Chain A
Amino acid sequence: MSMTEHRSTSALLYLSGVTVSFDGFKALNNLSLLVEPGEMRAIIGPNGAGKTTMMDVVTGKTRPDEGEVVFDGKADLTKLDEADIATLGIGRKFQKPTVFENHTVRDNLVLALAGLRSWYKLLLAAPTKAENARLDEILSIIRMEPQQDMLAARLSHGQKQWLEIGMLLAQDPKLLLVDEPVAGMTDVETETTAQVLREINRTHSVVVVEHDMSFVRALGVKVTVLHEGSMLAEGTLDQVSADQRVVEVYLGR
């Protein structure tokens, strides 16, 4: 397939031949990946497969040495910084929940809310009715209305993860990148998280990186397996689980 063919597809996120090396170690090696609008994609792979580096490249934290990263058919993500990319509509949830611990749950969401970002406008900004309504809506989706005035530092691990998902919703991105959302969660919390993500996927495209196989199964979406910085296999979880190479590198003996 030629590059122009890729370009003419309606892919929301398009990576082609992306290579990133750190001191000679290739964290990503000629990686190509397509995510369609409205799709939810799960990305799995053993430690060091390049999952987090891929997210870093897409969000502008890391510059690739080679390759193309195109968002929404037009924006060249290799030329933009984090703030630009976030404004374009790519939101990211980190592996370790990073919420603003000294702010209340509601204020965390206020900060994430799409719209105002420039410092001089924020000096005078007062919350609008529409914003408050949106905040209430998000609080109910992530099931955290009772905790809205609690400092984020006092939340449990699972609650922090949900708050972060709520912040992503507030950001209202076209594409959500979610890094290991259920790490450290109980089974019940994991199941709830899968529900929340499926709810979100109705209106947003989502890329989930996850280790937890039962969670990936619960999502029931197309799976991409990464290995040593490249794509190893792609398909339903059953298809990739049946792939002999995947069994060797990942599901392992």
Chain B
Amino acid sequence: MITRFLWQGMGPSLRVGVLFVLAIGIILPLLNQLMPASSAFYVPAWVLQLIGKYLCFASLALAVDLVWGFCGILTLGHAAFFALGGYCMGMYLMRQIGSRGQYGNPLLPDFMVFLNYKELPWFWHGFDQFWFAAIMVVLVPSVLALALGWFAFRSRVTGVYLSIITQAMTFALMLAFFRNDMGLGGNNGMTDFKDILGFSVQSDATRAALCFASALVLAIFLVIAGAVVGSRFGKALTAVRDAESRMRFLGYRVEGYKLFVFVLSAAMAGVAGALYVPQVGIINPSEFSPGNSIEAVLWVAVGGRGTLIGPIIGAFAVNFGKTYLTGALPEVWLFALGALFIAVTLFLPKGIVGLWAQVRNRGTVRKAKVPA
């Protein structure tokens, strides 16, 4: 039954997307591990780290697209779920440092020693175990999304009001996490990670494994999203997006549909954040900043809202541009981002994927005209 569910969304373009993502996640790490550093095919570790990061962003973009593109909920706070997943992973990584920290305390992470904590706060218990942290990575964002969604959707908060609420949520979380009293590293967040599952986070082999894991997770998310969207549930979901009140008059309890995708999407964002943190080596409250969530929405808009492949393309394209521009012309990046937002809204309402479809259609129209 589960396999049938997962296969029902498997269209040809999705299959190509999944295989492509898996190919990146397998070939690049293998080239890094098997090729000598002198070879032309050698992939340095920093490229793996960069691609791994992009893959996590792509998962976040897919999560945003699931609620925005397919259900019409414009979320401007999804980076919060990403950051929460990241913090859960960060807590695990901090506990793995053990007595190797600056202060050599076997139980308390450095920042707690520095802030005169006498014992571990209650919510830090269990995070020394990977399985526990892994559950929390999914659970914490899901529970927050469930609580927020429950109240918002039941009160029929929609459109721009909902966007403002999600934006306020991530802003409030940012302010909260900046406080030292939160017991999560305050302003500085958490860094100086050493091991993940017993392997050094700095080693090339771990970077290769993390890059592969990020690709695998993205591929799995694509299959899940495809199955959800391709099911009869998915038909109802897009119908809710296009004509919500009509669905109510047909007898659908719209709240349940919205809540399910919202929670699923938050869980996906959380997992993406958890994979992101060991690859960049730091998690701090700036991950909650409202701008991050807006950027994620932009990736989706650029790639193609309401398609499964679009957000992946958008996340890679925009972040590649960002990496390049912030390196080459740092002062230009924000202007480029603003210009991109305007350009997409004006000229590419359906994103890159939509443009491709448009060009292809025009081609067929032309062909059709030739014989006549």
Contact = CB atoms under 8 A, between A and B. Distances in A.
A39 B235 CA distance: 34
B106 interface: no
A103 B250 contact: no
Contact of A122 (B1, B233, B246, B250): B233
Contacts of A167: 250
Contact of B231 (A59, A81, A92, A125): A125
A107 B250 contact: no
Interface in B237-274: 238-239, 242-243, 245-254, 256-257, 260
A13 to B, nearest CB: 16
A82 interface: yes
Contacts of A107: 235
A12 interface: no
Contacts of A92: 249
B232 interface: yes
Contacts of B233: 119, 122-123, 125
A118 B256 contact: yes
B242 A86 contact: no
A111 B239 contact: yes
B252 to A, nearest CB: 5
A100 interface: yes
Nearest to A94: B246
B257 A119 contact: yes
B152 interface: no
B150 interface: no
A123 B252 contact: no
Contact of B250 (A81, A112, A120): A112
A28 to B, nearest CB: 19
B11 to A, nearest CB: 15
Interface residues on A, range: 20 to 34
Nearest to B252: A117
Contact of A117 (B239, B242, B246, B251): B251
A119 B242 contact: no
Interface in A52-105: 59, 61, 81-83, 86-87, 91-92, 94, 98, 100-103
B33 to A, nearest CB: 39
Contact of A86 (B4, B231, B250, B256): B250
B236 interface: yes
A249 interface: no
A67 B243 CA distance: 30
B240 to A, nearest CB: 10
Contacts of A218: none
A103 B235 CA distance: 8
A82 B238 CA distance: 19
Contacts of B236: 111, 119, 122
A103 B238 CA distance: 9
A246 interface: no
Interface residues of B, number: 26
A89 B260 CA distance: 26
B248 A83 contact: yes
B97 interface: no
Contact of B238 (A81, A94, A102): A102
Given A101-B242, A103-B238, A122 B251 contact: no
Contact of B253 (A61, A83, A98, A124): A83
Contacts of B256: 118-120
A19 interface: no
B228 to A, nearest CB: 7
Interface string A5-43: 000000000000000000000000000000000000000
Contact of B1 (A82, A117, A124): A124
Nearest to A104: B235
A205 interface: no
Given A103-B239, A111-B239, A98 B246 contact: yes
A32 B228 CA distance: 46
A122 B242 contact: no
B249 A100 contact: no
B130 interface: no
Contacts of A118: 253, 256
B311 to A, nearest CB: 18
Nearest to B5: A124
A230 interface: no
Contacts of B1: 124
Contact of A100 (B239, B251, B257): B239
A94 B247 CA distance: 12
B235 to A, nearest CB: 6
Contacts of A120: 256, 260
The 9 residue pairs across chains A and B that have the minimum distance between CB atoms? A86-B251, A82-B248, A122-B233, A119-B256, A123-B233, A87-B251, A100-B239, A122-B232, A125-B232
23 contacts: A59-B249, A61-B245, A83-B253, A86-B249, A87-B251, A92-B249, A98-B246, A103-B238, A107-B235, A111-B239, A112-B250, A117-B251, A118-B253, A119-B233, A119-B236, A120-B256, A122-B231, A123-B232, A124-B1, A124-B4, A125-B231, A126-B232, A171-B250
Interface of A: 59, 61, 81-83, 86-87, 91-92, 94, 98, 100-103, 107, 110-112, 116-120, 122-127, 167, 171
Given A123-B232, A124-B1, 10 more contacts: A82-B251, A103-B235, A103-B239, A107-B235, A111-B247, A116-B232, A119-B256, A122-B236, A123-B228, A124-B231
